[in-house]
């Protein structure tokens, strides 16, 4: 996706206006009075917001013009539904709306098709989730969502799973002093608990070269299939420290294999 192109959908992005907070407030007052010219100015003044959001999706292989158009739909929906009495910045409200619109577009155009009925169930579940969060000021459980919809909770789980975007196991989820923690560091490996795939002569010999702490961490991680968070809790250090020690231990082992 050519995210750095200057002209997108006929719009010269290098010349997009930047509105001050005072200008935004004044324009929104006029929008509420039905001023269409103010609405157009407000949309143009927030197109940079759309540009910043679509950069998050620059690895999807989608055309930047398509994503920009879809993001603009999300922006317009945000403007039409924004409640100025809630004391929330417009950008705070608009960004999730724009992201949601783009994700719906990507799901509907995904080569892995999800049935319409399944998508409908998922979207209803998301609407109920948002409603319950607003009512109770906390995230509802799957059981609460299922009860509200009047369907089995297994159906809710299946529908929500079906519309999730796939992510890489190497997606960074946290940084600590330059050391990234990845999705794969959060995943337990129950299958290999039984297979004990590390148990062979070469690896056992390499394990003997490690200190007791490193042996313990690798044993918990790869023999018992525990996540780094579980290991950190068990031995009383941070997850970032577990990650560093694990990487150091594996690096030492490679010298002897």
User: What is the reported pLDDT for 183?
Assistant: 54
Residue 157 has pLDDT above 60, yes or no: yes
| Cα 3–Cα 168–Cα 130 angle in degrees, nearest 5 | 80
10 Å Cβ neighbour count for 68? 20
Q: Which domains are present in the chain?
A: 7-108 (1.20.120.1810), 116-162 (1.10.10.10), 172-254 (1.10.10.10)
Residue 243 has pLDDT above 80, yes or no: yes
User: What is the reported pLDDT for 103?
Assistant: 83
Give the per-residue SS3 of 203-224.
Answer: HHHHHCCCCHHHHHHHHHHHHC
* Structure tokens given for 226: 């525990």
Whole-number Å distance between alpha carbons of 140 and 142: 7
* Structure tokens given for 211: 């200190």
* Structure tokens given for 188: 């337990």
Q: What is the secondary structure of 124-171 as a DSSP string?
A: HHHHHHHHHHHHHSSPPPHHHHHHHHTS-HHHHHHHHHHTPPP--TT-
Could you give the percent of the chain with pLDDT greater than 90?
5
Per-residue model confidence as pLDDT tens digits over 32-58:
888 899 889 888 888 888 888 888 777
* Structure tokens given for 121: 């169930």
Locus of tokens 């799973």:
161
CA 105 to chain centre: 16
* Structure tokens given for 92: 């705070």
Contact 218, 249 (CB under 8 A): yes
Burial of residue 34 (CB within 10 Å: 0-12, 13-18, 19+) is exposed
Whole-number Å distance between alpha carbons of 70 and 76: 10
User: What is the reported pLDDT for 113?
Assistant: 57
User: Which residue, 46, 37, 49, 39, is CA-closest to 19?
Assistant: 46
What mean pLDDT, rounded, does the chain reach? Answer: 77
Whole-number Å distance between alpha carbons of 211 and 219: 12
DSSP state of 103: H
* Structure tokens given for 189: 């490996």
Burial of residue 58 (CB within 10 Å: 0-12, 13-18, 19+) is middle
Contact 199, 192 (CB under 8 A): no
Question: Ranked by mean pLDDT, which of 8-22, 129-143, 164-178 comes out on top?
Answer: 129-143
Per-residue model confidence as pLDDT tens digits over 79-102:
888 887 777 788 888 888 888 888
Residue 29 has pLDDT above 80, yes or no: yes
């Amino acid at each position: 996706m050519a995210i750095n192109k200057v002209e997108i959908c006929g719009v010269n992005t290098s010349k997009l206006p930047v509105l001050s907070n005072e200008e935004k407030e004044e324009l929104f007052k006029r929008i509420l009075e039905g001023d269409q010219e103010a609405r157009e100015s407000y949309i143009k003044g927030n197109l940079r917001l759309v540009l910043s959001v679509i950069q998050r999706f620059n690895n999807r292989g989608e055309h930047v013009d398509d994503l920009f158009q879809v993001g603009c739909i999300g922006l317009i929906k945000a403007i039409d539904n924004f409640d100025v009495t809630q004391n929330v910045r417009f950008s705070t409200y608009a960004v999730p709306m724009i992201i949601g619109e783009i994700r719906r577009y990507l799901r509907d155009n995904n080569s892995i098709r999800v049935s319409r009925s399944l998508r409908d169930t998922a979207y209803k579940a998301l609407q109920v989730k948002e409603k319950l969060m607003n009512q109770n000021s906390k995230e509802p459980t799957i059981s609460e969502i299922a009860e509200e919809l009047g369907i089995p909770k297994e159906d809710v789980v299946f529908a929500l799973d079906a519309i999730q975007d796939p992510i890489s196991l190497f997606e960074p989820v946290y940084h600590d002093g330059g050391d990234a923690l990845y999705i794969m560091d959060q995943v337990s490996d129950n299958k290999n608990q039984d297979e004990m795939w590390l148990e062979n002569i070469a690896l056992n010999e390499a394990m003997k070269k490690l200190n007791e702490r490193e042996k313990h961490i690798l044993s918990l991680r790869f023999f018992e299939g525990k996540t780094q968070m579980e290991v950190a809790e068990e031995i009383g250090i941070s997850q970032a420290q577990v990650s560093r020690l694990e990487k150091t231990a594996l690096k030492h082992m490679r010298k002897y294999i």
